Amino acid sequence: MSEQKSLSGKIALVTGGSRGIGRETALALGQRGADVVITYRAQEEAAQQTVTELEAQGVRAQALQVDLTGTAELDRLVDAFQAILTDWGRQNFDILVNNAGVLRLATFERVTEDDLTYNFQTNYMSVFFLTQKLMGIMADGGRIINLGSGTARIAFAPLVSYGPIKAAVQSLTLYLASFLGKRQITVNAVAPGGLDTDFNAGLFANMPQAPDYIASNTALGRVGQATDVSGVVAFLASDEAAFISGAIINIDGGYHL
C-alpha cells in the first residue's frame, strides 16, 4: 500500500477540526485515505469547508457541532458519532485526535478562577472523559494522539493557566498508553512550540514581539506552522508507528535548546 493511502479503511475523529492544527491534521489523515469526522464549536462555515476539502480527496467526511467546555455535551457527541459510524457500515473507529483547545492569556497575578476553570474544563477534562466514553467503540490496535504544548516544559508567563494543564494532558498520555497497551492501542502526544496559527492570534496581537522572540530562540530560526504538526500526527496514526506509545514529541524547531 502506498504511503499516500496508508490509512485507507480507517476512521478518524479529530476534535477542533475547523481550523489550525485540527484542520491540517484532518486533511493529512484524509490524504492518506482515512475517513474523517471533525468537531467544531462555532465556526460552521470553516468546518464545512474542511469537509468539502476532505471529500475532494475521495474520502468520507462529516462535521459535528459540540461545545467541549467540560462534559455536558459529550454524550450527545458520542451518540452522533456512533450514528455516523453506523451509516458508514462500522461499529468502531480507529483514530482519535484530541486537538480541541482554548487559550486565555494572563500573567500569574491576573489569572482568575474562571480563567483556570475554563482552560481546565476544555483542555483537560473534556479530553479525559471523551476518551473514556469512546474506548468502548475504538478498535483494538487503534491510535490516540493528544495535543500537548511546549509550554508544558518551558515557562512562558502569559500562558501560566494553559501550560500546566497541557502538562497534565501529557501525563495523562502516559497513563493511557499503559492502560490501553493490552489492546495494542497506542497513545502519544505532540507538543508544538510557537505556531503561526489563529489559535495564537491573540497572543501575537498582544505581544507583537513574540514571533521574533520565538524565531530568535529556535534552532531552525522560524515560527512553526500547523502543517509542521499535522504530518507528525498522521505518522503516529499509521502502522509505521505501531511500536511508539507513551511518547511526547516536541515539535518546536529546537526552541530553547
Which residues belong to the active site? 162
Q: Are 5 and 33 in contact (CB under 8 A)?
A: yes
Burial class (CB in 10 A: 0-12, 13-18, 19+), 37: buried
Q: Measured between alpha carbons, how far is 201 from 131 in angstroms, rounded to an integer? A: 28
Residue of 219, 213, 224 whose CA lies nearest to 256: 219
Q: How far apart are CA 45 and CA 144, in angstroms?
A: 27
In whole angstroms, what separates CA 177 from the centre of its chain? 16
Place of cell 503561526: 196
- List the one residue out of 28, 145, 43 whose CA is nearest residue 98: 145
Radius of gyration of the chain, Cα coordinates, nearest whole angstrom: 17
Question: In the block, which residue shows the cell 482552560?
Answer: 119
